[in-house]
Structure 1
Amino acid sequence: MQDETAQRILITGGSSGIGLEASKQLTQRGHRLTLLCRTAERCQETVRTLSAESEEHIKAEGIAMNLTDLKSIETGCSTILQKNEPIDTLILNAGIQNVGIKEPRLTEQGIEETFCVNHLAHQLIAMRLLPLLIKSKKPRLVITSSEVHNPISGGGRVGLPATLGTLAGLKDQKSMAMLNGQNNFDADKAYKDSKLCNILMAKHIAIKLKQSGQEIPVVAWSPGLIIPQGSGGFFRTSRQQNPIGLAVFTFVARDLLRLTETVQKAGSLLAGLADRSIYEKNGFQYISNQLIRPGKHVFKETETSHEGNNEQLGEELWTLSEHLINQKLGETP
């Protein structure tokens, strides 16, 4: 039964994991959902899944948008812009983590995959669709990050810490596999860095909108450690390349130490961030589902890492990312 005013909500990563769970809840509340999925077939499959979960007619559509291909994103955004309909909530949620790989995986445009999917693709979507978001009477932007962006968090202390340094890798695109320019590729650090990018981008967007007199709620959040079931979603590449390592990690983190959050709970939190009135405060917020003891999480507003609060770094990241996007979109096949 609908308990909120119906909204038009766009979401990336809505076909699996916490995004799918949030999409189920949002459609059941009567919201109109646009799912940005990798392929048209994935869009259709997800809409069917959402319909099967509800006893009432749902309002959901899919638009094909492969986040590993900037030109696919540009085409999908053009389709949305042609409709010229206000977006009430934009959820930038999709993400991948390539656990255990030794060499970077490159996208169609030669960009390290984790950075492209988790950050660059979402910046391009934001660049194109923010005008439609601003047209809404009650706009909201929600970006999924992670506590691992913070080197002093539990997950952030394991392995190399998240840091972008001076963005040397992004400035010198020949070494862009690692954003801080280090020579050796580290898949875990690449993921942490991408989540730091999410924080910096969210804060930068909030600042720029405020400066232009168009301040809106911009929420970056951490769902906690999630390990979905099945072969798709967040760990899909790692399941293909390192299934034994991922199985061991899953057993230790989820079953032995009870460090993880359930997909259902995290999806519920994301759905709430998208439509609940308690998250209508203008400006930037970072809200984290923090583990306080094994099996127990608390969802609360908290501080980002020190580097995540660096406004100058956020502006430089945005500018360099925009330059890279424009360069890649301008290249001929």
Structure 2
Amino acid sequence: MKVELGITSFGDNNAIHTPDGIQDKISADERIRNIVEEIKLADKLGLDIYGLGEHHREDYAVSDPVTVLAAAATQTSHIRLSSAVTVLSSDDPIRVYQRFATLDALSNGRAEIMAGRGSFIESFPLFGFDLNDYEVLYEEKLDLLMQVNKNEKVSWSGSTRRPVDNKGVYPRAVQSEIPIFLATGGTPQSSYRAGALGLPITYAIIGGSPLRFRQNIAVYHAAAESAGIDKNKLKIATHSWGYIAETDEEAFRDYYPPTAASHNVLAKERGWPRYSEQSYMHEIEHGALYVGSPERVAQKIIETVEGLGIDRFMIHLPMGSMPHEKTMQAIQLYGEKVKPIVDDYFKDK
């Protein structure tokens, strides 16, 4: 059994509160250059996938993941390069395909797309879309993206854009089809949609026990079977926040300040309770934080893979303005120590 291990990042660059005061936020240009270095290191260490998020707000540095991934494509050799996610509802599916086909050329067939509706909604007013059309925008644009991915010439019509009448879309990808993962925070409707369409799926598990997603995966498999699709051919991925240091104590200490600061920015916006050390430790012990020594993180990944039956696990780092050198150290430990433990465990499964 081959379990793919990777990294996701949102390009965080927000200021964090530390025991010693406030650490200034990282500039967007510095953060973007750091991301390329992180991808290069992940590739060197043999990690399988790097996914980069799209945001349109001050505290995240990346609005166009494909450009950053393209910068890394010619400096890496095997790691797959994906969005995490592409906010498909507020983009044009044909342009999405063209950008990723270009990335596929630069990487010689390593591009992937995670297509999501977006838990952040800043892109909708920014690009002139009505949030009242949230569902139909996603449904229609996903349909068009899938058609463009399969066919060189496309005919399509819908209510959210002008029709396409037997037009060719170029360049074509190196891969016969670019893998399109439907990305979801866990709504049953998304699991059903992905299964019925025969798409691989990525679950963002950022709170509570990861094993509660068994219900979503059951819906996913049932929808695939109802559509006559072999569920064993569908790939399931998850991503969760995490951090690795030499010891549990060091990891717990380093990761709490940026995690609390990032959470509290969103808490203020969305009416959530403020983050606490009690919540933090509960998520490490029983929830979806993969924080600790290599041995601890590896064991938790193994439990998640077995408990959910997934094919790919991605750890989301860094968080907030965590220093670049700390992120690089965490990636180093992930590749050199966590990955061998996980690989060894599953080699005879």
Q: TM-score of the superposition, structure 1-length normalised?
A: 0.36
Q: Which has the higher Rg, Structure 1 or Structure 2?
A: 2
